[in-house]
Chains A and B, each alone.
Chain A
Amino acid sequence: MRKGMDETMPAPPPKRVSPMVAEVRYALHLLTLNKLVLAGIGLAVGLTLLAIIGPFFVPANTPNAINFQLGSQSELGNPNIGWAHPLGVDTYGRDTLSLIILALGLDMGAAGLVVGIGLVVGVLLGVTAGYIGGKIGEAIMRITDIFLALPLFIWALAIAAVLTRSLNSLIIALATVSWPGYTRIIRGQVLVEKGKPYVEGLQAVGVARWRIMLRHVVPNSIFPLLVQATLDIGGVILTLAALTFLGVGLTPLVPELGQMVSNGTTYIQIDPALITIPGLFIVAISLSFNLVGDGLRDVLDPRLRR
């Protein structure tokens, strides 16, 4: 022990934590630096809450509460309608605010389902393709190539054309087309991880392959998937709204954002609010998830760190 060392040392460095915790802390710190991302997170959380809790405050019969009288006067804040309808009424006389709340749930739920199914299927196939490889892997990747050849909307268009018109078909159609993206991502990650020494070590000790995949490889590859999934929710919402706007998949009374815009086009000159308000909510959902996804991607980016 050197004399004099203790008394004169400057404040000691902070306690050392495990590298994982330090990484997460640093990631969160980076995230908070970007105010836009914080806004996005706030917006996303707010919308989700609204979608989940809102319906409890909405009269249960809203979709069928048709009142053509009201509808024909539809204008935002029209004094005849009064503040019982803060966002006005739609073409059928139903309260816009209530419809929006219900629609939020439907849209976000559908998008979540699409991405969720896509993730599960995509990850399973991708991990298989990467880890097992061989003929099966090749076949999976070829199929992936086919689906990735066209943009999402065109595929959705094609598939929607042949399926029956319903929300479920739309969800299935969209999910079918989104899994390939995740497959490609995770396969790439798996290939990288496979080459790492620890995998060989685990195999040598006798750990089952699927266990290695699930408990070690997947957690290490999860971040890029997370980023893509977040961004995809935004993208799926847009595509879904576009399809319903065109009239594919839903009946006019269903509370869904694209559908509401579509209903509003007949009144485009009288009451543009019928179009702008649902649209704004679509933008809000899409924007918030894009912001979050973007922020996550920046955090991930090794070049922007430190």
Chain B
Amino acid sequence: MRLYEYIVRRMILLIFVLAGVTLVVFYLSHVISNPLYLYLTPKTTQAGIQALIEKYGLNQPLPVQYFKYFIGLFTGDWGYSKLATQPVFTAIAQRFPNTVELAIAAVILTIAVGIPLGIVSGVMNGKWADHASRIFAIVGVSLPVFWLGLLLKILFYYDFNVWGLPNLPSSGAYDTILALSHPAGLSPTITGVPLLDTLISGNWVMFSDSFAHLILPAVTLAFISIGNITRIMRSSMLEVLRQDYITLARSKGLTERIVIYRHALRNAMVPTLTVSGLIFAGLLGGAPITEFIFQWPGIGQLSINGLLSNDLSLVLGYVFLTTIIIVVANLAVDILYAYMDPRVRI
């Protein structure tokens, strides 16, 4: 089946890309700096160093080291993280659901705001509604994420505090103290995603707490993605509205509403939805900066901490995961594209 072949081909490409990405970082990390530092403590003796070298195979030729590492990635052995005092794989796996939670929230927000804004902008081309959304969108993509996050924190956390307004929590995914004191805490962990778990088990106190914690980081992330989506939706709409078949639809006497919703949107949505898929994948990569600012316990924050403490295996593991997510997302998006546009057949 052609679809099957296509997927297999892409998977092979994925492995190739993974190899390339990890190779670059691995090579750099072993040639430019010395991975030995990972395992050194101030108390390590000369003999101890030698032992370490033996233990971690650091005296083997570089390609061999890389090869072993690469295979290890596929079998779940991503090395050990000094920072997390856990195997890298476990550390990442534990925190991944939190990132998923944030990513889903941000994507929902992005689509809910970005797509209608883009449609309005495209349909009302040239009028003030169009100009307003264009300005909004371009400012959105020009903002540094960390600055936006800090700004929102200042306003909604510190200032609200001072002004006596209920403030939105600014760190963590949930209030740990509350979790500890609440009878049910955060259990049971069904999906691992705090928001969903508390929802499923009817734990309203923790649910609303999780939700409140989600607001600021999700808005931060969404703000910038909304800018992107709006621009793509708008240009897609403009392109479609220029087409001949729209003229025909109007000449049939259809109401403008039907022309836009049935004829134009069906065509204009395609690139937008595919981009949304890519944005979601990108967000799954953890939006490291946002997680860092709001101390959101996801894989992004983990990778930044790893970066700052020179914990290379952590960073590498993170890069590996992110690459897989992004490449697979690209594949899914391409397939979705073919599904949505009957002219494209794989």
Chains A and B share a contact (CB less than 8 Å): yes
A interface vs B, CB < 8 Å?
36, 142-143, 145-146, 149-151, 153-154, 157-164, 234, 238, 241-242, 245-248, 258, 261, 265, 268-269, 272, 275-276, 279, 282-283, 286-287, 290-291, 294, 303
27 residue pairs bridging A and B, Cβ less than 8 Å apart: A145-B13, A146-B21, A149-B327, A150-B323, A151-B326, A157-B315, A158-B24, A158-B319, A161-B312, A162-B28, A162-B312, A164-B33, A234-B142, A238-B142, A241-B147, A242-B144, A242-B146, A248-B307, A261-B146, A268-B154, A272-B154, A279-B150, A283-B142, A283-B147, A286-B144, A290-B141, A290-B142
Task: State the 8 A-B residue pairs at the shortest beta-carbon distance, nearest first.
Answer: A146-B20, A279-B147, A287-B142, A286-B142, A162-B29, A162-B28, A161-B315, A149-B17
Could you say which residues of chain A place their CB within 8 Å of the CB of B322?
Answer: 150, 154
- Chain A residue nearest to B242 (CB atoms) is A303
Which listed segment binds A: B44-52, B115-123, B215-223, B282-290?
B282-290
Contacts of B3 in A (CB 8 A): none
CA of A276 to CA of B152 in the docked complex: distance in angstroms?
Answer: 11
B322 CB, nearest partner CB in chain A, Å? 6
- Smallest distance from the beta carbon of A242 to chain B beta carbons, Å? 6
Apart from A241-B147, A245-B289, what 11 extra A-B contacts exist at CB < 8 Å?
A146-B17, A146-B21, A150-B322, A158-B25, A158-B315, A159-B24, A161-B310, A162-B28, A162-B29, A290-B142, A294-B138
Evaluate contact between B28 and A159: CB separation under 8 angstroms: yes
A149 vs B10: C-alpha distance in the bound complex, in angstroms? 13
Tell me how far the C-beta of A295 lies from the nearest C-beta in chain B, rounded to whole angstroms: 10
- CB-defined interface of B128-140 with A at 8 Å, one 1/0 digit per residue? 0001001100110
B268, CB-defined interface residue at 8 Å: no
A158 to B318, CA, bound (A): 9
Residues from chain B with a CB closer than 8 A to the CB of A268 are 150, 153-154, 158
Contact across chains for A269 and B158 when beta carbons are under 8 A apart:
yes
- Chain A residues near B138 (CB-CB < 8 A): 36, 287, 290-291, 294
A269-B158, A290-B138, A303-B239 in contact; A150/B144 too (CB < 8 A)? no
Closest residue of chain B to A257 (Cβ to Cβ) is B144
Contacts A246-B304, A246-B307, A276-B151: A283 and B326 contacting too (C-beta < 8 A)?
Answer: no
Q: Is the CB of A36 within 8 A of B312?
A: no
Q: Which residues of B contact A (CB under 8 A)?
A: 13, 16-17, 20-21, 24-25, 28-29, 32-33, 131, 134-135, 138-139, 141-147, 150-151, 153-154, 158, 239, 242, 282, 285, 288-289, 292, 303-304, 306-308, 310, 312, 315-316, 319, 322-323, 326-327
Contact call B308/A238, Cβ cutoff below 8 A: no
Give the chain B neighbours of A151 by CB distance below 8 A: 282, 285, 326
Cα-based distance from A161 to B30 in the complex (angstroms): 12
Bound-state CA distance A286–B138 (Å) is: 10
Chain B residues with CB below 8 A from A248, complex form: 307-308
Docked pose: A247 CA to B305 CA in angstroms: 11
Contact A150 B319 (CB under 8 A): yes
Assess whether A162 is in contact with B20, with CB atoms less than 8 Å apart: no
A residues within 8 A CB of B323?
149-150
From B29, B142, B242, B323, residue with most partner A Cβ within 10 Å: B142
Contacts of B33 in A (CB 8 A): 162-164
Distance A42 CA – B206 CA, assembled complex (angstroms): 51
- Distance A269 CA – B154 CA, assembled complex (angstroms): 7
Output the least CB separation between A174 and chain B (Å): 14
Please tell me if the beta carbons of B303 and A157 are within 8 angstroms of each other in the complex.
yes
Complex Cα distance, B29 from A159, in Å, reads 8
Minimum CB–CB distance for B324 against chain A, Å: 10
A280 to chain B minimum Cβ distance, whole angstroms, is: 9
A161 contacts which chain B residues (CB < 8 A)?
A: 25, 29, 306-307, 310, 312, 315
Q: Report the Cα distance A150→B289, complex, angstroms.
A: 16
In Å, the complex CA distance between A279 and B21 comes to 32
A246 touches B21 (CB 8 A): no
User: What is the CB-to-nearest-CB distance from A230 to chain B, in angstroms, rounded to a whole number?
Assistant: 13
B107 to chain A, nearest CB (A): 16
Closest to A265 in B: B150
- The reply to whether B292 and A246 form a contact with Cβ atoms under 8 Å apart is yes
Chain B contacts of A241 at CB under 8 A? 144, 146-147
